[in-house]
């Protein structure tokens, strides 16, 4: 295209300036313009079709912009961005992490194991985690990573793991993906480098999305990537925006970055394999986590949380707002790698106390805090006990041990305690009442006298008591009464306040009143004298009616008054101080009026309405929660995402600790209500198009669904049009089908993927191509199966009367027949019938048909047979395996694998084998025609008395004819005559043939001569002609 000078040699399009077409166009243009200019409004709407198209297009564009609005739950201080570094081995993952750590923290970190958290900016922290080239780690990290750096050796190209990883991501919620090409310096040729880059980029785009960011790390200098390139990469990481993924916005999860074994050493010494109590630490992500949540540790199993606590952030964001980070604030936290005070070894955990690290000023490690506290102690326990004080009410004085033991009188004088007594008296009375007459269940407030309520409501500390009353009491019911009882009973002064049910404990009769209460939601008013009560509270009741007193902001009179108030601006010397409140109210009202008017103006759309509602909800969430005290908030909400939490788990398998290996990610996912259960899971699935086999029913499959990875035996089926589930033996090739398996309950629409093998050894991997065999979503959860298989029962008639027949061979017993009474049956020729009743014990039954059937007919009963789904669910427990076997988790084998292993050859049933079909020729009976008919037949059709051989059968011998002498002479004569005649004829034919040949030859000769003559004549003529022309 380009010549040597770089100029474009292609001809440019030349716009015509003159000619017929140009004139025509000009004319048309001028006409339309003229009309439009004259009266533009008249031509706004020309064509209904166009208008419709225009409208349609507009709607399309609008709808495309719309997304289902979700409630915004992003925490104010989010957890660090979780960055997973993924790639095949020897591609430079560790080098990249080391480089990134070096860039942000200036701390050399040579041996990286497990996650590394670091502060990368004023508002941003990241956790870096290397992903091993093992499908288990890839699955776990894909579920939690916010951003994935996919490394690729450019000199080799994308490997299968890359595609597998992308597919895993797609199924479990796509995180942000940045591709990185390394080993670019291995390609020496510039052109080849350029082509490789281009090719890989386009391949990456088709996999992720067109325009996805692909980084090039051009080479390694002194074992490190170029600083500028790493810096750029860092910048890109820091500006990533997170997508909200539906699974992660409904579940809380964390990546464990620290682990402690707190089992008593004595127990471990006695039995190394004893169950352990452990502490797991990590940044909480997703949604708040409460103690009641069950959790799933990927690679270990489901666990109950023993306790959750939030800790100080070990790697906090800088508090001061300023332009750049100072060196002190560039924190790094990587306990598994030996940073953060704890070093893990094969058989010990070391705690570092000295401040060899930049962060140590804050003393975040708990163990350090404990030991430091012990070191600081200067007094004995007795002295401390004496000094300690307890505060009973929030604004009461602290009560020390001395006060209680010696100075009872002092308490009586104190003002605070007087009040306390007052309350105490009331409460105890009420409590006793409740305790004794729980069956009367008078609601609390009815019994509280008015005076008491008036007194208590404004005093803030009573507020807390309501929650305490409800929830602390709950402890008593469960059976922890004794704990409270023991330390209270001796002491009357303070104790009375808490003596809720202590009397009941002694008395079984009373106890059973509370535990076996009448179960009714109706507030029982049997013992209340309603008449007196109504008279007493008449005034209170009156205000509840529209006829009663209204509040100022609702009272029509007051509102009218407000409207009449002088305007703000007009009145110069308006007294702001007194009426500021009313003015504020008025202004608020005006604003509200405006808001409603404004909102109504635009709120014509369902979508907008939904959006505003959701926005309002997220605002309310934030507002109501931020108003709560921290402890109440944690109680109501649980631990928020972004907190650094400590989970205590009990009864963990010892192998988890013994075989702990920090380079495998420990992902903890919380399970929502009901998800800890197991049931039948119906999924919609499609075999992956890159997997080149089909899947067989009841062959084991490893499924990754929700947080879990497990092996199960799925049953494939097809959902028919009448919603029947028809059993399939194999998955279809290119269409989706359904599957059912016994597995953990997971919400509908959750994605899942299936693999056949998680082993990561070269022998296994060698003959495996793409490992993901199928993907799909959960469609239904159930506790029973309904997969059906077609079943044809076949029987034969043994006796037939008109339309009734007795049929045997279909069933084996009369019981079976009884189950099928009334069932439809059918002959092969299509005569329909019904099962009536069993006649004998062997399964013979009477049936009726719509027509008489033949004895040779086969009777068929078409039914469905329910297929059981095997109840097999086996979580993959690769984290508890020994270090060298972590990648070699082996589950149930497929039938084929077992057969190959044990060299079992299938012995097919002889019925199923194909054999040559031999057919005997049909022998028909001789045709006998009645004599009467014979007589009536025409001669042609009459049977002849002689035997006629139609097909010249030679076996039938002819009758020899014996002639007389005379006759013989005649016959000889005739024979001679015929022979001579034949001979003559032959001679004649030969002669004729010769003659004709001769004649033809002559004719030909003549023709040739004639031709030659004409030729010579022509020649002469032409010669003469040419001579004449020459002259």
Partner 1 sequence: MPKAVAVKGNVLSYKGSAYLRQRLVLAVLSGKSVKIEDIRKYDIDPGIQEFEVNLVRLLDKVTNGSYIKLDETGTSLFFQPGMIHGGTIEHDCSLDRSIGYYLEVLILLAPFCKNPLHVTLKGVTNNKIDPSVDHIKASVLPVLRKFMLNDEGLELKILKRGMRPLGGGEVVFKCPIQNQLNPVHILNQGKVKRIRGTAYAVRVSPTMANRMVEAAKGVLLKFIPDVFVTTDHCRGKQSGNSPGFGIHLVAETTEGVFYSAEAISNLVAEDKEPSVAEDVGVTAAQRLLIEIYQGGCVDSVAQSIACVFMTLGQKNVSRIIVGSLTDYTIAFLRNIRDFFGITFKVDYYIEEDSNPEEQEGAPKISLICIGAGYTNLNKRYL
Min dist CB 488 to partner 1, Å, is: 21
Query: What is the footprint of partner 1 within residues 272-331 (CB under 8 A)?
Result: 287-288, 290-294, 301-304
Task: Rank residues 515 and 768 by Cβ distance to partner 1 and give the closer one.
Answer: 515
Buried b (16+ CB within 10 A) or exposed e, 558-578: eeeebeeeeeeeeeeebeeee
Q: Interacting stretch for partner 1, rule CB under 8 A, among 86-94, 126-134, 528-536, 896-904?
A: 528-536
Query: What is the footprint of partner 1 within residues 608-637 (CB under 8 A)?
Result: 617, 620-621, 624-625, 628, 632, 635-637
Binder among 379, 615, 780, 1007 for partner 1 (CB under 8 A): 780
Min dist CB 558 to partner 1, Å, is: 11
Tell me which residue of 865, 861, 866, 863 sits closest to 809, measured CA to CA: 861
Min dist CB 621 to partner 1, Å, is: 5
Min dist CB 748 to partner 1, Å, is: 4
Task: Rank residues 259 and 308 by Cβ distance to partner 1 and give the closer one.
Answer: 308
Task: Rank residues 193 and 287 by Cβ distance to partner 1 and give the closer one.
Answer: 287
Tell me which residue of 206, 134, 144 sits closest to 164, measured CA to CA: 134
CB count in 10 Å sphere of residue 820: 18
Task: Rank residues 631 and 920 by Cβ distance to partner 1 and give the closer one.
Answer: 631
In order of 625, 633, 636, the CA distances from 628 in angstroms are: 5, 6, 9
Q: Interacting stretch for partner 1, rule CB under 8 A, among 49-57, 195-203, 775-783, 830-838?
A: 775-783
Min dist CB 46 to partner 1, Å, is: 43
Min dist CB 464 to partner 1, Å, is: 9
Q: Which contacts of 561-567 are long-range, i.e. CB under 8 A and separated by 24 or more positions?
A: 562/586, 562/589
Query: What is the footprint of partner 1 within residues 692-721 (CB under 8 A)?
Result: 719
Min dist CB 873 to partner 1, Å, is: 8
Binder among 8, 418, 422, 524 for partner 1 (CB under 8 A): 524
Query: What is the footprint of partner 1 within residues 71-100 (CB under 8 A)?
Result: 71, 73
Min dist CB 577 to partner 1, Å, is: 18
Query: What is the footprint of partner 1 within residues 661-690 (CB under 8 A)?
Result: 672-674, 676-679
216 beta partners: 181
CB count in 10 Å sphere of residue 1030: 6
Q: Write out the two tokens for 359.
A: 């962060």
Task: Rank residues 85 and 287 by Cβ distance to partner 1 and give the closer one.
Answer: 287
Q: What is d(CA 665, CA 139) in angstroms, rounded to the nearest whole number?
A: 10
Tell me which residue of 431, 433, 444, 445 sits closest to 484, measured CA to CA: 431
Query: What is the footprint of partner 1 within residues 426-445 (CB under 8 A)?
Result: 438, 441, 443-445
Min dist CB 473 to partner 1, Å, is: 7
Min dist CB 580 to partner 1, Å, is: 14
Q: Check residue 568 and report its DSSP letter.
A: T
Q: What is d(CA 869, CA 850) in angstroms, rounded to the nearest whole number?
A: 39
Task: Rank residues 544 and 946 by Cβ distance to partner 1 and give the closer one.
Answer: 544
Query: What is the footprint of partner 1 within residues 738-757 (CB under 8 A)?
Result: 744-745, 747-749
CB count in 10 Å sphere of residue 839: 16
Number of residues that bind partner 1 (CB under 8 A): 104
Length of the chain: 1031
Task: Decide if 824 contacts 834 (C-beta within 8 A).
Answer: yes
Task: Rank residues 45 and 545 by Cβ distance to partner 1 and give the closer one.
Answer: 545
Task: Rank residues 32 and 244 by Cβ distance to partner 1 and give the closer one.
Answer: 244
Tell me which residue of 943, 591, 106 sits closest to 583, measured CA to CA: 591
Task: Rank residues 719 and 858 by Cβ distance to partner 1 and give the closer one.
Answer: 719
Binder among 74, 244, 515, 1016 for partner 1 (CB under 8 A): 515
Q: What is d(CA 420, CA 495) in angstroms, rounded to the nearest whole number?
A: 12
Residue ranges of alpha helices (H) inside 155-250 are: 160-172, 190-207, 227-238
Q: What is d(CA 77, CA 528) in angstroms, rounded to the nearest whole number?
A: 53
Phi, psi (degrees; rounded to nearest 5) at 426? -60, -50
At which residue do the structure tokens 């009734």 appear?
Answer: 804
Query: What is the footprint of partner 1 within residues 44-73 (CB under 8 A)?
Result: 71, 73
Q: Interacting stretch for partner 1, rule CB under 8 A, among 322-330, 395-403, 411-419, 782-790?
A: 782-790
Min dist CB 807 to partner 1, Å, is: 36
Task: Rank residues 190 and 545 by Cβ distance to partner 1 and give the closer one.
Answer: 545
Min dist CB 561 to partner 1, Å, is: 15
Min dist CB 512 to partner 1, Å, is: 4
Q: Interacting stretch for partner 1, rule CB under 8 A, among 225-233, 496-504, 511-519, 562-570?
A: 511-519
Task: Rank residues 432 and 826 by Cβ distance to partner 1 and give the closer one.
Answer: 432
Task: Rank residues 177 and 423 by Cβ distance to partner 1 and give the closer one.
Answer: 423
Per-residue binding string, partner 1, 465-504, x by CB under 8 A, is -xx--xx-xx--xxx-------------------------
**Crossing angle of helices 135-144/160-172, nearest 10°?**
40
Binder among 462, 607, 770, 864 for partner 1 (CB under 8 A): 462
Query: What is the footprint of partner 1 within residues 532-591 (CB under 8 A)?
Result: 533-534, 537, 540-553
Min dist CB 361 to partner 1, Å, is: 37
Min dist CB 779 to partner 1, Å, is: 5
Task: Decide if 225 contacts 99 (C-beta within 8 A).
Answer: yes
Q: What is d(CA 650, CA 44) in angstroms, rounded to the nearest whole number?
A: 76
Task: Rank residues 182 and 746 by Cβ distance to partner 1 and give the closer one.
Answer: 746
Measured in whole angstroms, how far is the alpha carbon of residue 856 from the centre of its chain? 56
> Would strands 832-838 and 389-391 be described as parallel, antiparallel, or unpaired?
unpaired
At which residue do the structure tokens 């059976």 appear?
Answer: 479
Min dist CB 680 to partner 1, Å, is: 9
Task: Rank residues 187 and 562 by Cβ distance to partner 1 and give the closer one.
Answer: 562
Per-residue binding string, partner 1, 902-931, x by CB under 8 A, is ------------------------------
Q: Write out the two tokens for 26.
A: 């000009």
* SS3 category, 460: coil
Per-residue binding string, partner 1, 380-419, x by CB under 8 A, is ----------------------------------------
* Positive or negative torsion for Cα 552, 558, 559, 565: negative
Tell me which residue of 428, 410, 419, 400 sits closest to 497, measured CA to CA: 428
CB count in 10 Å sphere of residue 805: 28
Query: What is the footprint of partner 1 within residues 218-277 (CB under 8 A)?
Result: 250
Min dist CB 305 to partner 1, Å, is: 10
Binder among 781, 805, 817, 876 for partner 1 (CB under 8 A): 781
Task: Rank residues 25 and 584 by Cβ distance to partner 1 and give the closer one.
Answer: 584
Query: What is the footprint of partner 1 within residues 849-878 (CB under 8 A)?
Result: 871, 873
**Crossing angle of helices 415-436/508-515, nearest 10°?**
80
Mention every residue, 6+ apart, whose C-beta is less than 8 A from residue 51.
45
Min dist CB 657 to partner 1, Å, is: 19
Task: Decide if 676 contacts 302 (C-beta within 8 A).
Answer: yes
Mention every residue, 6+ apart, whose C-beta is less than 8 A from residue 482.
505
Asked if residue 759 binds partner 1 (CB under 8 A), the reply is no
At which residue do the structure tokens 């669910």 appear?
Answer: 873
Q: What is d(CA 634, CA 291) in angstroms, rounded to the nearest whole number?
A: 10
């Amino acid at each position: 295209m380009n010549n040597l000078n770089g100029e474009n040699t292609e001809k440019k399009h030349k716009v015509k300036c003159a000619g017929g077409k140009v004139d025509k166009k000009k004319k048309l243009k001028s006409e339309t313009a003229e009309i439009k200019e004259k009266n533009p409004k008249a031509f706004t709407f020309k064509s209904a079709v166009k208008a419709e198209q225009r409208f349609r297009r507009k709607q399309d564009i609008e709808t495309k912009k719309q997304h289902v609005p979700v409630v915004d739950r992003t925490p104010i201080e989010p957890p660090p961005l979780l960055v997973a570094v993924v790639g095949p081995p020897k591609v430079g993952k560790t080098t990249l992490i080391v480089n990134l750590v070096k860039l942000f923290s200036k701390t050399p970190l040579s041996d990286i194991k497990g996650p590394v958290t670091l502060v990368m900016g004023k508002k941003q922290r990241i956790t870096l985690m290397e992903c091993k080239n093992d499908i288990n780690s890839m699955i776990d990290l894909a579920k939690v990573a916010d951003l994935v750096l996919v490394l690729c050796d450019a000199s080799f190209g994308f490997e299968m793991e890359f595609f597998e990883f992308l597919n895993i991501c797609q199924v479990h919620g796509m995180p942000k993906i940045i591709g990185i090409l390394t080993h670019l310096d291995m390609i020496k040729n510039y052109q080849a480098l350029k082509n490789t880059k281009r090719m890989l980029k386009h391949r990456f785009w088709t996999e992720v999305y067109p325009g996805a960011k692909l980084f090039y790390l051009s080479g390694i200098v002194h074992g490190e990537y170029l600083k500028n390139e790493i810096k750029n990469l860092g910048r890109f990481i820091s500006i990533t925006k997170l997508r909200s993924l539906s699974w992660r916005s409904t579940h809380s999860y964390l990546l464990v970055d620290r682990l402690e074994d707190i089992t008593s050493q004595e127990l471990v010494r006695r039995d190394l394999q004893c169950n352990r109590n452990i502490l797991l630490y990590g940044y909480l992500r997703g949604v708040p986590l409460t103690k009641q949540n069950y959790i799933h540790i990927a690679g270990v199993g489901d666990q109950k949380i023993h306790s959750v606590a939030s800790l100080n952030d070990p790697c906090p964001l800088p508090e001061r707002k300023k332009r750049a980070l100072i060196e002190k604030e560039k924190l790094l936290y990587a306990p598994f790698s030996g940073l953060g005070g704890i070093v893990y070894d094969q058989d010990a955990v070391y705690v570092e106390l000295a401040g060899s690290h930049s962060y140590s000023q804050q003393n975040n490690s708990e163990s350090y805090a404990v030991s430091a506290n012990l070191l600081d102690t200067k007094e004995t326990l007795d002295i401390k006990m004496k000094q300690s004080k307890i505060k009973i009410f929030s604004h009461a004085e602290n009560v020390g041990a001395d006060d209680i033991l010696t100075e009872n009188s002092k308490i009586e004088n104190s003002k605070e305690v007087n009040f306390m007594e007052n309350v105490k008296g009331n409460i105890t009375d009420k409590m006793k009442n409740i305790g004794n007459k729980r069956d009367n269940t008078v609601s609390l407030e009815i019994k509280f006298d008015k005076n008491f309520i008036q007194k208590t409501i404004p005093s803030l500390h009573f507020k807390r008591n309501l929650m305490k009353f409800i929830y602390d009491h709950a402890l008593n019911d469960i059976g922890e009464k004794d704990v409270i009882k023991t330390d209270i009973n001796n002491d009357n002064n303070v104790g009375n306040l808490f003596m809720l049910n202590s009397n009941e404990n002694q008395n079984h009769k009373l106890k059973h009143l509370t535990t076996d209460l009448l179960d009714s939601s109706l507030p029982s008013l049997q013992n209340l004298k309603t008449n007196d009560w109504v008279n007493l509270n008449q005034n209170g009741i009156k205000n509840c009616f529209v006829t009663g007193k209204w509040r100022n902001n609702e009272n029509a009179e007051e509102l009218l008054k407000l409207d009449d108030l002088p305007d703000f601006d007009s009145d110069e010397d308006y007294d702001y101080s007194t009426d500021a409140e009313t003015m504020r109210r008025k202004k608020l009202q005006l604003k509200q009026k405006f808001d409603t008017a404004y909102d109504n103006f635009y709120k014509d759309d369902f979508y907008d309405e939904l959006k505003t509602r959701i926005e309002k909800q997220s605002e309310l969430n934030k507002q109501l929660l931020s108003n709560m005290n921290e402890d109440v908030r944690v109680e109501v909400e649980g631990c928020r995402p972004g907190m650094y939490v400590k989970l205590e788990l009990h009864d963990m398998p010892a192998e988890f600790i013994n075989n702990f290996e920090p380079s495998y990610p420990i992902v903890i996912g919380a399970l929502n209500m009901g998800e800890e259960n197991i049931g039948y899971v119906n999924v919609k699935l499609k075999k992956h198009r890159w997997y080149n086999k089909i899947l067989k029913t009841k062959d084991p499959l490893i499924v990754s669904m929700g947080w879990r990875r497990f092996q199960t035996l799925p049953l494939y089926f097809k959902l028919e049009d009448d919603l029947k589930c028809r059993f399939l033996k194999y998955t279809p090739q290119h269409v989706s089908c359904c599957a059912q398996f016994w597995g953990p309950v997971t919400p509908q629409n959750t994605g899942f993927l299936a693999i056949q093998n998680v082993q990561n050894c070269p022998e296994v991997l060698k003959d495996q191509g793409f490992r993901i065999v199928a993907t799909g979503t959960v469609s239904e959860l159930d506790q029973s199966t309904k997969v059906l298989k077609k079943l044809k029962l076949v029987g034969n008639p043994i006796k037939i009367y008109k339309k009734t027949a007795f049929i045997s061979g279909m069933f084996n017993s009369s019981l079976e027949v009884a189950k099928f009474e009334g069932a439809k049956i059918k002959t092969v020729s299509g005569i329909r019938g019904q099962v009536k009743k069993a006649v004998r014990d062997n399964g013979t039954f009477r049936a009726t048909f719509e027509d008489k059937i033949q004895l040779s007919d086969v009777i068929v009963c078409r039914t469905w047979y329910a297929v059981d789904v095997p109840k097999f669910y086996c979580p993959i427990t690769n984290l508890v395996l020994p270090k060298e076997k972590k990648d070699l988790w082996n589950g149930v084998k497929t039938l084929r694998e077992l057969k190959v292993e044990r060299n079992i050859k299938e012995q097919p049933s002889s019925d199923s084998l194909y054999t040559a079909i031999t057919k005997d020729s049909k022998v028909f009976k001789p045709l006998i025609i009645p004599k009467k008919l014979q007589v009536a037949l025409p001669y042609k059709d009459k049977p002849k008395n002689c035997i006629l051989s139609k097909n010249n059968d030679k076996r039938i011998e002819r009758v020899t004819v014996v002639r007389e002498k005379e006759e013989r002479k005649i016959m000889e004569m005739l024979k001679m005559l015929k022979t001579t005649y034949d001979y003559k004829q032959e001679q004649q034919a030969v002669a004729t043939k010769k003659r004709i040949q001769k004649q033809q030859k002559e004719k030909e000769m003549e023709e040739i001569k004639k031709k030659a003559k004409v030729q010579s004549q022509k020649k002469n003529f032409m010669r003469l002609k040419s001579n004449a022309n020459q002259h």
